[in-house]
């Protein structure tokens, strides 16, 4: 089940593209709290286990599609959104803790 969900999330970012593009980069801000950096590492581990693919974690902007972990205080506490934005998949949580829980629990 975890692998199926992971596949569906990754494919949602490329649904509008002519050819599917699966991001293999996880981007988290350089000044992100420790919990967000942990979320990126945990997401990397889960994706490796679910897909076998190596996902590189970066703090830099990249030209390739990426999975981004972000924070948005306008969301309810422990609320989160997974959305496609351009070629990226964005996991946004109310705070770094909710981003961490959702990168871990959803996949």
The confidence score (pLDDT) of residue 32 equals 79
pLDDT per position as a tens digit, 73-90 = 787 877 788 999 989 999
pLDDT band at 41; cut points 50, 70, 90: very high
pLDDT of residue 28: 93
**Residue 5 phi, psi (nearest 5):** -60, -45
Long-range CB pairs of 6-12 (<8 Å, 24+ gap) are 6/46, 6/47, 6/50, 6/51, 6/107, 7/51, 9/82, 9/89, 9/106, 9/107, 10/51, 10/89, 12/84, 12/89
| Res. 71 pLDDT band, cuts 50 70 90 | confident
């Amino acid at each position: 089940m975890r692998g199926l969900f992971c596949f569906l999330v990754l494919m949602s970012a490329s649904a509008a593209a002519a050819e599917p593009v699966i991001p293999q980069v996880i981007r988290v801000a350089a000044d992100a709290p420790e919990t967000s950096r942990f979320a990126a590492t945990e997401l990397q581990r889960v994706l490796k286990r679910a897909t076998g693919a190596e996902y590189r974690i970066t703090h830099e902007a990249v030209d390739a599609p990426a999975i981004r972990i972000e924070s948005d205080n306008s969301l309810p506490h422990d609320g989160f959104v997974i959305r496609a934005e351009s070629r990226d998949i964005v996991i946004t949580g109310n705070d770094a803790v909710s981003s961490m829980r959702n990168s871990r629990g959803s996949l």
